[in-house]
């Protein structure tokens, strides 16, 4: 070992100084290849979106814009598109509004019992998976479910929840609040509590402190939460599929039907790309205005 180190010391510095940087690129290769599936796949989708659908051969190679035209002119299609966008936007706003006080209390609470309860109530749903939780809502909101049985005791109901936008929104919110809390918490964690105290000592009330101190400092968390919630909600399939009972379909349901009932790959590619377009726009706007927020992979150097 000593001779090796001694030998290394005699070598010019650049020999062992510069390779590490090259080595860094080498480390990234497997990850780049892995994510490359999605990158290459997007190019595939772009190509499919201008191919011609043929009921017999499924896809023929003549180029056309008919699929894009169909999305823009067929009310059933753009209707679902706009429903997806507004529902994703609404769920994003609601879940961040729900998650904010929750995350704040989880970070700041003194009692370890309360904190543990808050943490368990976030992470157990988070790790339970979408199908299981949707099934739970089906039992709660169904025709003979918990809510309707309770209403029945008072001689009310039954109310039909399944197949309504309300049921879909309840299901979506329960999935998205934990995501929002997880994205908000790191940002809230970094807020120095003495800043809040200082603001209050200077005469700011709670609302002013929230608006001028907490909210700006938590912005990276809000940005991260919004991106994650909007992206996941706009692509959600199981909740509109089960709780919406086919009445409240979103883009994912439309894509699935186009793919498997009609085998219309070009049209499914158009729907997919339109979904990617909307989410990328949202991500782009937030990235350029606020930065990657808590979603970003921070670079080591700026941390000190």
Which positions from 26 through 85 interact with other proteins, judged by CB under 8 A?
A: 26-28, 30-32, 34-35, 37-42, 44-45, 48
Residue with smaller CB distance to other proteins, 73 or 144: 144
Binding to other proteins by CB under 8 A, coded x per residue (else -) over 149-188, reads x-----------------------xx--xx--xx--xx--
Site for other proteins in 199-228 (CB under 8 A): 227-228
Q: How far apart are CA 258 and CA 251, in angstroms?
A: 10
Q: Which of residues 228-257 bind other proteins (CB under 8 A)?
A: 228, 231-232, 234-235, 237-238, 241-242, 251-252, 255-256
Which SS3 state, helix, strand or coil, does residue 202 take?
coil
Q: Residue 205 Cβ, how far from other proteins at the closest point, in Å? A: 12
How far is 229 from 89, CA to CA, in rounded Å? 9
82 C-beta neighbours (distance < 10 Å), count: 10
Determine if 125 is a binding residue for other proteins (CB under 8 A).
Answer: yes
Q: Which pair of structure tokens corresponds to residue 291? A: 């930065």
Instruction: Name the minimum Å distance from CB 199 to other proteins.
Output: 13
**Closer by beta carbon to other proteins, 57 or else 298:** 298
What is the 3-state secondary structure of 51-70?
A: EEEECCCEEEEEECCHHHHH
Tokens linked to 302: 């700026």
Residue 210, classified by CB atoms within 10 Å of its CB into exposed (0-12), middle (13-18) or buried (19+), is middle
Quick note: the x/- pattern for other proteins over 78-117, rule CB under 8 A, is --------------------x--xx-xxxxxxxx-xxxxx
């Amino acid at each position: 070992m000593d001779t090796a180190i001694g030998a290394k010391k005699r070598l010019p510095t650049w020999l062992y100084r510069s390779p590490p940087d090259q080595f860094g690129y080498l480390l990234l290769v497997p990850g780049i290849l892995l994510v490359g599936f999605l990158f290459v796949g997007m190019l595939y989708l772009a190509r499919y979106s201008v191919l011609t659908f043929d009921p017999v051969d499924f896809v023929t190679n003549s180029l056309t814009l008919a699929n894009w035209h169909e999305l823009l002119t067929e009310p059933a299609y753009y209707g679902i598109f706009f429903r997806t966008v507004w529902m994703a936007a609404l769920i994003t706003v609601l879940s961040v509004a729900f998650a904010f006080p929750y995350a704040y209390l989880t970070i700041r609470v003194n009692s370890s019992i309360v904190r543990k309860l808050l943490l368990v109530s976030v992470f157990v749903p988070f790790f339970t998976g979408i199908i299981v939780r949707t099934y739970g809502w089906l039992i709660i909101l169904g025709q003979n479910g918990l809510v309707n049985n309770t209403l029945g005791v008072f001689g009310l109901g039954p109310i039909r929840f399944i197949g309504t936008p309300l049921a879909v929104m309840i299901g979506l919110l329960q999935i998205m609040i934990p995501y929002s809390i997880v994205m908000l918490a790191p940002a809230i964690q970094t807020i120095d509590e003495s800043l809040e105290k200082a603001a209050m000592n200077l005469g700011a009330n709670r609302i002013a402190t929230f608006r001028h101190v907490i909210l700006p400092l938590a912005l990276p968390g809000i940005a991260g939460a919004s991106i994650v919630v909007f992206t996941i909600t706009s692509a959600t399939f199981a909740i509109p599929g089960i709780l919406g009972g086919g009445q409240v379909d979103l883009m994912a349901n439309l894509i699935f039907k186009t793919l498997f009932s009609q085998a219309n790959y070009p049209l499914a590619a158009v729907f997919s790309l339109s979904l990617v377009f909307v989410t990328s726009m949202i991500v782009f706007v937030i990235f350029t205005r606020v930065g990657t927020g808590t979603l970003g992979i921070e670079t080591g150097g700026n941390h000190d």
